[in-house]
Structure 1
Amino acid sequence: MEKIAKKAKISLYLDTRRELSDDTYPVKIQVFYGRQKLFNTGTYVSAEDFDNSYNTAKPKGDRLKELKIELSAIEAKANEVVDNLKVFTFEKFEKMLFATKQSLTNIIDHYNEYIKELDKNEQTGTSSSYSCSINSIKEYIDSGRKYPVEVITFDMITPEFLNRYENWMIAQDNSRTTVGIYLRATRKIFNQAIEDGLIDRELYPFKKYKIPTGKNTKKAIESPDLKKLFDADTKGNEFQEKAKAFWFFSYQCNGMNIRDISELKFKDLHGTYFSFLRHKTIRTTKEDPKPIIVPITEFVKGVFEKYGNKKGKPNDYVFPVFTLGMDAKERHRVNQNFVRFINQHMKKLANANGMVIKGTMEARHSFTTQVTRKQGMEFAQEALGHTTLSTTQNYWAGFQSETKKEMADMLLNFDALEPKTTIRKKAAVKKPSTSTKRKASRRVEVV
């Protein structure tokens, strides 16, 4: 027999805990679903009128009859919201109860609500991406209009609309990768609205429209150029010297993201190593995230000593990028500036030495290339902080085809596959006193 899902119970409640100056009290919607929660209605009545209208089957007098109709309508709307929710939560109930019909179908409002949620969770980078997404869609719709659009209903976002928007974005010199990032945000908003029962599944446009994906080519710097860059002279240019220090800090510390470097605290330092959780995935990993362990080499120690704070409490930052008390948006802004600083001066340093690099992500990509070649995919998975091997495989799949070809060619270069050991043969020395023993054989020593 199919089990019937428990339904939230609705009733009106007169909150008599605090009387107003006119002897009235607030009427609230009482919702019971495992626990009780009250929601304001904006209506205020006296205790006597509440009993003689809402709590009475047949109120006497037109005023009380009208009040009962008003209160019954509030209760009916609350019950309608409960009936329309496929999965009940107090948060969804509140959202639908107080939303206007226009806001329920206006994708701009849905974007704004989700952006608020991301900001509340301090997911500032994702929040910024969603803001860029809806602003871009609004800009496209507003092009050629006299007044900016304030309402974009879900049924306006059709496969045909998305194709036109994609073409417009490309014509504005945006990459397919950017289009993909923006429209994956739109798809998330659609999926959430459908899950909440706010729009019909038939409105979903992404069955027919395929979101474009970029090539996602990852550029790694090979060993000779890494050495050349590391040995590049930065004397007299403190900006390039600092940028190079943090770029190679990222490279040697498991391709550590600059945000994770900025977030590093004294409590993360453990003598001969430090550990950290990736800021990017700490909120999206369902299981307890596994810390990434990084040995403190002489180079890493030198960066700590030159650019880090000399001492601090456990929750103080190691590097003077963030300060305690900064909110999420400020940390995001400051970190973005720090990344731009490194990228700007590393590009200049590379150009001065006949090289071209894009920025900090090439430090991570270069680490990935080196460690995957030398230690294998499983080692790379742990070092990069990927929760599954498939993530590492997908990450590796984005590297340039020539890198993969070099690996394939190396498989037939059997000299390169030999262990790098030196074989030295020593002839045994004959001793007169051991003439009766067997002749000494030549022995092999591996050094």
Structure 2
Amino acid sequence: MNTTTSIILDTRRAKQDGTFPVKLRVTHQRKQKYFAIGISLSQTDFDKAQGEKPRGEYKDLKIKFGSLEARAIKVIEKLPEFSFEAFEKRFLEKKQSGQDVYSYYDRYIDSLKQEGRVGTASSYQTSLNSLKSFHPKKLSFAKVNAEFLLAYERWMLSRGNSQTSVGIYLRTLRALFNLAIEEGVLDKKDYPFGKRKYQIPAGRNIKKALTLEDIQKIFDYQPVSESEAWSRDLWLFSYLCNGINVKDIARLKYRNIEGDKITFIRAKTERTAKKNLKPVVAILTPEAKEILERWGLKPRHAETYVFGILTNSVTPEREMKLVQQAVKNINKYIKRIAVALGIEKEVTTYTARHSFSTILKRSGAPIEFISESLGHQDLKTTEYYLDSFEDDVKKQYAGLLTNFKKSH
């Protein structure tokens, strides 16, 4: 075959962000033509993706490049006579019809499971099951337009689902559209989300944070059983340690504890953040140290899980089940405690994280500090977490508007 292909970085003109487009180069009888594949990288990132043993995102990129080139070679082999025009027509036709939505879901769910991200895989599977209930037949990307998405939203709501659920399911679909565009299977013009198209509904931000008064009640509560004591203490540990979630509590080992602080990488971001993962640092207050002393496993070896929720060498599937059971137990008893204390809001493990961030906000802490403490990658995520101020605080500030009256 006198026609060759290769994946190259087109460095002739940089984009505004300093990256260059990655292209498929087809060479025939010393003539070359370039085809954009919808990916842009820096020279350094491209070199890493093309290296012998790339890891993480670079490994994913290398697989994508190989898949695209293999597809191009198949198109060339099937052409009776090569011409760039014939290749482009067949290649773009193949690109448009190469994958359907459900097969993309299946492939992505499999890749998540292979990475050990079984919780995320479960979320995508739930979204896929819902879409299949709405549209049982094969679903092409072309079929998914603003009208289709609006019809799906109405169907979901008519069956008693909330706007929040609709948003959760459709954000996974949006992520797959972005992936298909990135892989060159779709063109950006076929993207059905965004302004003047379909906008995913935002869930209602229900107040989840407790007041400082309610948190004091939980601190002062005298548990009636060991299960209550364990659940109350782990809830408080989450609140005291930057709103750390139960999965990260379960993953804590003694090597994460040094002096008056714990340092850890959030499980939620360790495989999804692209680079420069920043560890979360939580200061251990005297109360948090007391909880560690009460419930921490002994002897304290560096590789021992602190709270004994997990054991060494558990599979990702087993880890998910153990964490889910711990969350279930904590929620069961912390809800009982809340009822006994007359706390009207629903109290769960999630409430501890929201309470941590909101109490800091009400105390005047900068949002940048709160964001870093929570381990968020951007401030928008933090702003969503932060609860609104209590009415008495609003009244206090409103009174300042006419403070001049008090000087007369």
Q: TM-score, normalised by structure 1?
A: 0.66
Given the alignment of the two structures, is residue 108 of structure 1 paired with residue 102 of structure 2, yes or no?
yes
What letter corresponds to residue 146 of structure 2 in structure 1? P
- Distance in 1 of aligned mates of 2:105 and 2:222: 49
- Distance in 1 of aligned mates of 2:75 and 2:280: 54
Given the alignment of the two structures, is residue 254 of structure 1 paired with residue 248 of structure 2, yes or no?
no
- Distance in 1 of aligned mates of 2:26 and 2:245: 49
Aligned length: 336
The structure-2 alpha-carbon separation of the partners of 1:167 and 1:323, relative to structure 1 and needing over 3 Å to count, comes to same
Q: Answer whether contact 2:96 2:186 (CA < 8 A) is retained.
A: no
CA RMSD of aligned residues (A): 3.6
Given the alignment of the two structures, is residue 167 of structure 1 paired with residue 146 of structure 2, yes or no?
no
| Matched residue SS, 2:308 | coil
- Distance in 2 of aligned mates of 1:10 and 1:123: 40
Q: Answer whether contact 2:279 2:375 (CA < 8 A) is retained.
A: yes
What letter corresponds to residue 349 of structure 2 in structure 1? T
Given the alignment of the two structures, is residue 156 of structure 1 paired with residue 150 of structure 2, yes or no?
no
What letter corresponds to residue 278 of structure 1 in structure 2? R
Given the alignment of the two structures, is residue 272 of structure 1 paired with residue 260 of structure 2, yes or no?
yes
The one of 358, 383, 388 equivalent to 2:373 is 383
CA displacement at 1:409 relative to structure 2: 3.5
Deviations 1:35-82 (A, max 9, x none): 899999xxxxxxxxxxxxxxxxxxxxxxxxxxxxxxx978625999xx
Deviations 1:193-219 (A, max 9, x none): 223222344443225221111112232
What letter corresponds to residue 257 of structure 2 in structure 1? L
Q: Answer whether contact 2:193 2:199 (CA < 8 A) is retained.
A: yes
Given the alignment of the two structures, is residue 363 of structure 1 paired with residue 352 of structure 2, yes or no?
yes
- Distance in 1 of aligned mates of 2:393 and 2:373: 20
Given the alignment of the two structures, is residue 127 of structure 1 paired with residue 115 of structure 2, yes or no?
no
What letter corresponds to residue 211 of structure 1 in structure 2? I
Which has the higher relative contact order, 1 or 2, with Cα contacts under 8 A spaced 6 or more apart? 2
Q: Which residue number in structure 1 is paired with residue 310 of structure 2?
A: 322
What letter corresponds to residue 77 of structure 2 in structure 1? A
The structure-2 alpha-carbon separation of the partners of 1:195 and 1:275, relative to structure 1 and needing over 3 Å to count, comes to closer
CA displacement at 1:389 relative to structure 2: 4.1
Deviations 1:399-446 (A, max 9, x none): 24x53x5444344678xxxxxxxxxxxxxxxxxxxxxxxxxxxxxxxx
| Matched residue SS, 2:270 | coil
Q: Which residue number in structure 2 is paired with residue 191 of structure 1?
A: 178
- Distance in 2 of aligned mates of 1:379 and 1:216: 22
Larger Rg: 1
CA displacement at 1:254 relative to structure 2: 1.4
The one of 200, 222, 225 equivalent to 1:233 is 222
| Matched residue SS, 2:206 | coil
The structure-2 alpha-carbon separation of the partners of 1:184 and 1:74, relative to structure 1 and needing over 3 Å to count, comes to closer
Aligned counterparts, 1:19-418, within 5 A: 76-77=77-78, 104-142=98-136, 149=137, 151-207=138-194, 208-235=197-224, 237-356=225-344, 357-377=346-366, 378-396=368-386, 399-400=387-388, 402-403=389-390, 405-411=391-397
- State the identity %: 35
What letter corresponds to residue 382 of structure 1 in structure 2? E
CA displacement at 1:119 relative to structure 2: 2.1
- Distance in 2 of aligned mates of 1:139 and 1:209: 21
The structure-2 alpha-carbon separation of the partners of 1:196 and 1:84, relative to structure 1 and needing over 3 Å to count, comes to farther
Q: Which residue number in structure 2 is paired with residue 431 of structure 1?
A: none
Q: TM-score, normalised by structure 2?
A: 0.72
What letter corresponds to residue 223 of structure 1 in structure 2? L
Deviations 1:356-398 (A, max 9, x none): 32301111111112212224123323322234445433432xx
Task: In structure 1, list runs of 5 or more residues that go unmatched.
Answer: 12-32, 41-71, 86-92, 143-148, 415-447
- Distance in 2 of aligned mates of 1:191 and 1:131: 18
| Matched residue SS, 1:254 | coil
Deviations 1:336-371 (A, max 9, x none): 221111111111121122223230111111111221
What letter corresponds to residue 364 of structure 1 in structure 2? R
